[in-house]
Structure 1
């Protein structure tokens, strides 16, 4: 195994105002915040020595800077363009950022929380739907220093939909694409983005205006890489919720679905088997359960990706959408910054599958880290209240299970509630050290 050292450079991006930047489509301004945080020194396997810097930037303009550990900083979202998190030196390990906006206007309603992520080369995004007033915007983000080409395909119930599209994303920039032009009638789209010449981050913003009634908004980040086990760690159920599964391969997928609550597996008489066509997408209405946050476990005979959409609100009135996607297992440390949006309540939902595990959970409140140990039995999720926290960090402890987490954010209650769900992202703390020797 290659030796490890602390990460020395991090470049991550958030989309900024997702509802702007498409030629021929009217921009919609949103008012929100971006927050960044460095983790406590105790998260690092070895002490960090030397100098470092970390900042949130709008192009060449610095919006906020971080100065130490733990530290937090925030700023208003810029009017257009992406937001970048750049960190080097001692502040590069365990640094995170996220953006958030909230709207309750007549034509746009939703709480939208989006973590800033580093780049990947093969991304799957699940979100959106058909119908008048439903709109999906794909935002491609390039945190690197060279142009990157993105090949975009949309998949649906019958496989690939429409004609693939190619976009070039400039260094440090973004490109926004309206998916209605690619697959206007697809009821259950899944978007596949393959990057060439470097890495990209991508988000998919799902907004729904039904006539004159705002039904909700959410921005989705890429789901976990395709696998035969997919875990959506934190999905709010109890109203109308639907599982969406994409099978990115030449074989159809036969999947079984299990809901996990506080006491373990939820017993139900509803159909929990979903067959997904090869290269296509399938949906399953999830069983009716008491209102709360659950883990949705998907097992498949071939690799798949998965997400859950929750509808909030009465059929005849305004509401919101919450998209929860499958998350990667936490091998080392995971975390997220938590923007200080007034009125938002947040909860961390942790789950272990395949065995028991312990997790060290650190919430940072007013600059002070507070750590507790959470012991998780296999298939029995646990909640951690995030009241007052500007950041949360989870460090994997002992045990044989696969640890995952998600953060649920809400405003209000019942049919008037606004909802946003994000997976807890693994963050880079250390990186392999290359051992190269000159030739004689």
Structure 2
């Protein structure tokens, strides 16, 4: 009762100020709210009155962050032969200067596959790489001082008769509504969907495959165990579909999904890629890095809603708009998938912008070779904008070239790019005019981090990896993902 009396006293003193003062202050209150949205403050009326604290809500450095990677994607489907790939996981922590305040105390970034520990990172900035075996999901957990600003990437390379490709995919926290675009028709084309659960409770999912004519049958329902995974071969449902799109919805928790597309014609391996979920449906979608030249480059769009879509395709380079001689308008019916091949665009790497009259999802397929000899391909999906800090872990392999591709849309942007090489952060500022692309070489970096510093535009990024050149080039595209730095907290003081 003593605590209640004090709160009541504070309220009476506030009320004594009178209604007139409240009315006069109402206009100023609007400005205070707008200022607080941009610069959060702890506004404590009870402390100002001389009484005890009351509950407030703010943010602090995250103390636990969980991400999940699929583990070796070509293993673990009952009745289907496993394909062994030399998969490895790279995990990294970001530099201290990227955090809004120092991270104190102990902490660790630990990766576990099943019950086996894969690797541990215990420094900031730090990175580690370890091989992955078996058919288990990999759970990457940052705790304590090493929870904020972490990233993980799974990667493998193969150059054999039956399998050829460079594959990179980020670890992620997942979500409840995911879209993945990839795959195609033909007896040598396979799509494997891996559903992974980063949480501690089972999650029920339903999987729908869409094609040129709309959804292909009823959803497939799967339950993914805590920290585990479920793998599906989509050929049984979409073997004849030339342009599949996969929609995954989860009930009871978040889920992460990856789609692995492998392609072989006769005895000729034409490439492999694993795609992560792309940006949520929107009327503007941006693919930061699409390779043109050396093979066909195709835009694929799926329409989730109940209205048909008209999509305009724009190619952007370092100097802005890049003209194309072919069609740049794509139409697709509600619930269906459409494609458009880019023609007349000079050889190079560009951003692709999709503008639609209704929300859509989109991705770009870049091919190396024409199918007459061993080739490769990469799926580059539309990505979300960088809100605070985005990052990627990359294995520093000397014979793999990596580059960060940034694009600004809707306004100019200045970004801070931090690469970590041999444990040392290197910082540079990148100025981007609206509808322009910038490419930052990553050399042998262990990780790369991006945060926007000024500007009104949207900033998006993709990490492009390649090995070799010409028709023998291996290629992979990986989205730059937001990294958790802070989490909401509340201060509550129980009444005596």
TM range (shorter): over 0.9
Give 1:117's aligned residue: 172
Following superposition of structure 1 onto structure 2, how do residues 19-418 of structure 1 map, counting pairs within 5 Å? 19-238=74-293, 239-418=295-474
Tell me if structure 1 keeps the 8 A contact 2:196–2:255. Answer: yes
Distance 1:271 1:436 in 2: 60
Give the conservation status (yes or no) of the 8 Å contact 1:234–1:423. no
How many residue pairs end up in the alignment? 440
Quote how far apart the aligned CAs of 1:3 are.
2.2
Q: What residue in structure 1 maps to residue 73 of structure 2?
A: 18
TM-superposition CA deviations, 1:52-97 (whole Å, max 9, x none): 1211111222211111210011101223212221111111110001
Separation of aligned partners in 1, 2:129 and 2:371: 37
Q: Is the 8 A contact 2:324 2:342 kept in 1?
A: no
Contact 1:407 1:421 in 2 (8 A): yes
**Is the 2:313–2:354 Cα contact (8 Å) retained in structure 1?**
yes
Measured against aligned partners, the alpha-carbon deviations of 1:222-270 in whole angstroms (never above 9, x if no partner) come to: 0011111100011111231100001100001111110001110012232
CA distance in 1, matches of 2:117, 2:398: 24
1:288: Cα distance to partner?
Answer: 3.0
Task: Say which structure is richer in helix.
Answer: 2
Q: Work out the CA distance in 2 between the residues paired with 1:195 and 1:342.
A: 40
Cα distance in 2 for partners of 1:434, 1:284 equals 50
Offset, 1:425: 0.7
CA distance in structure 2 between the aligned counterparts of 1:23 and 1:210, rounded to whole angstroms: 24
Question: How far has the Cα of 1:5 moved from its partner?
Answer: 1.5
Distance 1:278 1:64, change over 3 A: same
What secondary structure, in the 3-state scheme, does the structure 1 residue paired with 2:238 have?
Answer: coil
Deviations 1:299-329 (A, max 9, x none): 1111111000111123311101100000100
Moved more, 341-350 or 398-407: 341-350
Give TM-score scaled by structure 2 length: 0.87
Deviations 1:158-207 (A, max 9, x none): 11112310000000000000011222211101000000111100000000
Structure (1 or 2) with the greater strand fraction? 1
Please report the RMSD computed on the Cα atoms of aligned residues, expressed in angstroms: 1.4
Aligned-pair distance for 1:436?
6.0
SS of 2:218's equivalent? strand
**Which 5+ residue runs of structure 1 have no aligned equivalent?**
none
Single out whichever of 204-213 and 230-239 deviates more from structure 2. Answer: 230-239
On the 8 A contact 1:248/1:280 being kept in 2, the answer is yes
Deviation of 1:38 (Å): 0.2
Structure 1 segments of 4+ aligned residues over 3 angstroms from their partners: 434-440
Aligned residues of 1:99 and 1:339 also touching (Cα < 8 A) = no
